[in-house]
Structure 1
Amino acid sequence: MASTSEPATERPVRSDARRNRERVLAAAREAFTEVGPEVSLAEVARRAGVGQGTLYRHFPARADLLGAILVDGVATLCRRGAELAAAGPAGAALAGWLGLLLEHARVNQGLAGSYLSGGGLGERYPVTDCHEKIMGMAARLLADAQRTGAARADLTAVDLVQLIVGISLVTVRTQDSAQADRLLAVALDGVRVGMATGRP
């Protein structure tokens, strides 16, 4: 009889731990956005409504927390890309996802730098995996758009990702909140220029 009751007592613990982890991640994203990646972990714990011991059980070091946020953000970005691809049309899906990529790059630019400078190159949250996933989604959406004639044929996924990262770099500290959107619109005109001008 005792053995049958064990799963019932373990499940709430796992559920609570998962909720605490999600609360810490949500609080950290908010704190890093408002204050920057240098915000204290004590402040993150306070915002999450958990003790520092709980935070450190899930994320023993700052790099673990930064890495988890980056990995979670990339997973969400790629999931949205798949949803856009399924909804179509291909040109709109690519444009929509590039907008999401720009927002992701601008929000997480400081986090990525802090993660790497803090030695965030381990196996738990490898940056290379994040990069490969983004490149894979960019290649998929671009290929779909090229097949339907919605994107010029000479573009590569590397071109697109570097273009978006470039826009993020030059606009992340601007006082003009609309500049990133304007530059993205110009970039998207370039993506579609082959169809507009008749060039391949």
Structure 2
Amino acid sequence: MYHKEKSIQIKNSASALYNNLGVLRIAPRRLTYFTVVHANVVNMISASWDGLNYSHRQLQSKEPNVATSTSLIMQAAFCVLPSRDLLVVTSQKGIQMYESDGSIMVYWHALDTPETPTAQAVFARGISAVPDNYICVGVSSGAILVFDVPSKGSNITLSEVLEEHKESITDVASECSGSQECIANLVSADDGGNLCVWKSGEEFQLLNKIPGFE
């Protein structure tokens, strides 16, 4: 049975975005991390399980070594991998990956932006951890970027780009029990309502494509 616990006030209101609440429970430390996006800021709260202690942190979307350039954040999500947990933040400029407590940015991937403005918006949206140490992130071009994440350190690499979708990625999601019998473990969706079903690995395999309604 669920019951209401003590409410925690965040620093800003929540932007009207998909999936705008991230939660990560850290059992050994009896802590829970929460994230909520507001404009160009990720509001992060670390709360003890008894509700007596909590702390705030704010993360901005900006390129490394650039003090003032910020952009709207599209999503923030925790990715739980076999050997580490990361907080992934996507925006109109790129993709940032932090240690799960938000203390250190371990990776930055800039999006390709045209030199002159176009009608097509540029952004990254749709974040999911996938078995075997991968993180998948969708982008506005319809591509899905597959990042290979080591067990520690910042040597994260872009290992593959999946280009089956023709419209902006809405979301990606992964689910697998960990069994070797798991055939499909990633689903991606675009703004046209199309779904793609994938199997992860050294090379991701497209297993099925479900068209959206005409």
- Smaller-chain TM-score range? under 0.3
Highest relative contact order (Cα 8 Å, sep 6+), 1 or 2?
A: 1
Larger radius of gyration: 1
- With normalisation by structure 1, the TM-score equals 0.25
Greater fraction of residues in strand: 2
